[in-house]
């Protein structure tokens, strides 16, 4: 089938874009598939693709600026392999797993994806497959949040407006801001990406509320109305902020004062797999930083959506540099110097060379989680096997 060959070529081009953007100490292995989603029970025209890290590796790091607390921060394997060069660890076979929906829209003969090898111009209802693949591979590198709405209203069965990490039984967080936590934490250890997320207007990190939330047992959350509890109150406050446009951003330093990327928080209700895991749709549409928006651009090629010579753009490059990747320079500018200077008065980002403190490479690494669950059409975790954690971010129509 010619289309499978077209898809293989698009995978190669997307990988080449990443290779030009990132200096990799060790090569990455990606398990990617282009197939019918209906065969897996996910017949949804709106779902173009989804991807995530195959495994997460944890090591203890400072939890927040100005705190003596630490946490077992979870690194995606793609990054852990770059940091732990030479370490003899039981790595998973693949760093990233990705799958893309080959189904045609209902009632249409034409495929939803466009390939340049077809020799045809992209139609108004098609999506450039290379653009979607590149978007999802960036998620696999670690640009994704684990926070979401994991608790349902007992009476209605709908998600409660509470934002927390995934619930489960995990190794304890070692925080020091008012008392110890139990031997095991009822919530997952933070992903590395989430340690970089700040409520910029308030200069407060997303993880600043983690200690209070982690001391509240999950049983206190799924009730109507939620009880008065510091953890529940913190989760409710975070939900309100995470459904208010232009509140959270990835910051270039531990103060949160220098936003690199304004994150998507305009969706109400909160959209797991889309909110916080993508950049602001309205702010970045029409700019060279449009790659990592939650809604894909229809009827446009990759080169029409972003700069074809630098499809990641300075914002995504800045995020990858903040995560810890060695980002190659573009036009003489380093990763730290490529921070976006937004035109919005509330979002004037300045380049700052100060990086978040990281422990030495000799810090112990522990396999924390591997993907073992499915996701629904919007990227929401639909099944979870504790302590295994599956996180995939989806791009939708």
Count of CA atoms in the C-beta half-sphere (13 A) of 381: 22
Contact 323, 196 (CB under 8 A): yes
Count of Cβ atoms closer than 10 Å to residue 27 Cβ: 9
CA distance 335 to 319: 9
Rg (CA), the chain: 20
Strands 167-171 and 184-187 turn out to be antiparallel
237 CB burial (10 A radius; 0-12, 13-18, 19+): middle
Q: For residue 154, what pLDDT is reported?
A: 64
Give the residue among 144, 122, 254 at the shortest CA–CA distance from 198.
254
How confident is the model at residue 4, as a pLDDT?
87
Residue 122: the pLDDT is 96
Closest CA to 93 of 81, 85, 101: 81
Instruction: Quote the pLDDT of residue 69.
Output: 61
C-alpha to C-alpha distance for 72 and 58, rounded to whole angstroms: 5
- CB-count exposure of residue 163 (10 Å: 0-12, 13-18, 19+): buried
Rounded to 10 degrees, what is the CA torsion of 212, 278, 382, 106?
160
Residue 306 is predicted with a pLDDT of 96
pLDDT at res. 382: 23
Containing 319, the helix (H) or strand (E) segment is: helix 313-323
Per-residue pLDDT of the chain (397 residues; tens, 9 = 90+): 688 899 999 999 999 999 999 999 888 999 988 888 776 666 766 778 888 898 888 877 765 555 556 667 889 999 999 988 777 778 889 999 998 888 877 656 567 899 999 999 999 989 999 999 999 999 999 999 999 999 887 666 688 899 998 887 554 444 333 333 334 567 777 889 998 999 888 888 888 878 778 778 787 777 656 667 888 889 999 999 999 999 999 986 666 666 789 999 999 999 988 999 999 999 999 999 999 999 989 999 999 999 999 999 999 999 999 999 999 876 544 443 333 333 332 333 333 323 333 444 455 566 665 543 222 223 222 222 222 234 555 555 5
- The secondary structure of residue 40, as a DSSP letter, is G
Tell me the backbone φ, ψ of residue 209, rounded to 5 degrees. Answer: -90, -5
- Looking at residue 213, the DSSP 8-state letter turns out to be H
**3-state DSSP call for residue 214?**
helix
């Amino acid at each position: 089938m010619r289309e499978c060959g077209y898809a293989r070529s698009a995978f190669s081009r997307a990988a080449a874009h990443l290779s030009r953007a990132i200096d990799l100490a060790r090569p990455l292995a990606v398990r990617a598939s282009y197939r019918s989603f209906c065969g897996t029970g996910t017949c949804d025209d709106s779902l173009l693709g989804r991807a995530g890290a195959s495994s997460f590796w944890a090591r203890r790091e400072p939890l927040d600026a100005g705190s003596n607390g630490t946490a077992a921060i979870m690194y995606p394997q793609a990054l852990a392999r770059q940091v732990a060069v030479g370490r003899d660890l039981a790595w998973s076979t693949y760093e990233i797993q990705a799958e893309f929906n080959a189904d045609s829209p209902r009632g249409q003969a034409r495929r939803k994806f466009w390939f340049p090898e077809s020799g045809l111009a992209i139609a108004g209802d098609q999506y450039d497959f290379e653009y979607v693949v590149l978007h999802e591979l960036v998620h696999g590198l670690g640009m994704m949040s684990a926070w979401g709405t994991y608790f349902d209203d007992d009476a209605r069965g709908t998600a409660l407006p509470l934002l927390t990490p995934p619930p489960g039984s995990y190794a304890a967080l070692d925080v020091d801001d008012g008392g110890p936590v139990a031997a095991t934490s009822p919530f997952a250890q933070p992903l590395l990406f989430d340690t970089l997320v700040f409520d910029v207007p308030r200069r407060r990190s997303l993880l600043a509320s983690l200690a209070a939330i982690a001391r509240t047992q999950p049983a206190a959350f799924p009730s109507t109305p939620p009880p008065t509890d510091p953890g529940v109150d913190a989760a409710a406050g975070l939900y309100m902020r995470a459904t208010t446009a232009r509140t959270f951003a990835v910051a270039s330093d531990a103060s949160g004062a220098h936003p690199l990327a304004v994150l998507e928080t305009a969706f109400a209700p909160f959209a797991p797999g889309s909110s916080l895991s993508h950049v602001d749709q309205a702010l970045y549409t029409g700019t060279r930083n449009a790659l990592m928006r939650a809604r894909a651009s229809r009827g446009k090629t990759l080169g029409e959506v972003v700069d074809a010579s630098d499809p990641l753009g300075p914002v995504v490059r800045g995020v990858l540099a903040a995560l810890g990747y060695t980002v190659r320079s573009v036009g003489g500018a380093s990763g730290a110097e490529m921070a976006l200077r937004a035109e919005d008065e509330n979002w004037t980002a300045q380049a700052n060379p100060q990086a978040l403190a990281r422990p030495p490479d000799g810090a112990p690494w522990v396999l924390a989680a591997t993907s073992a669950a499915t996701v629904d059409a919007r990227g929401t975790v639909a099944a979870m096997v504790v302590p295994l954690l599956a996180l995939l971010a989806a791009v939708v129509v």
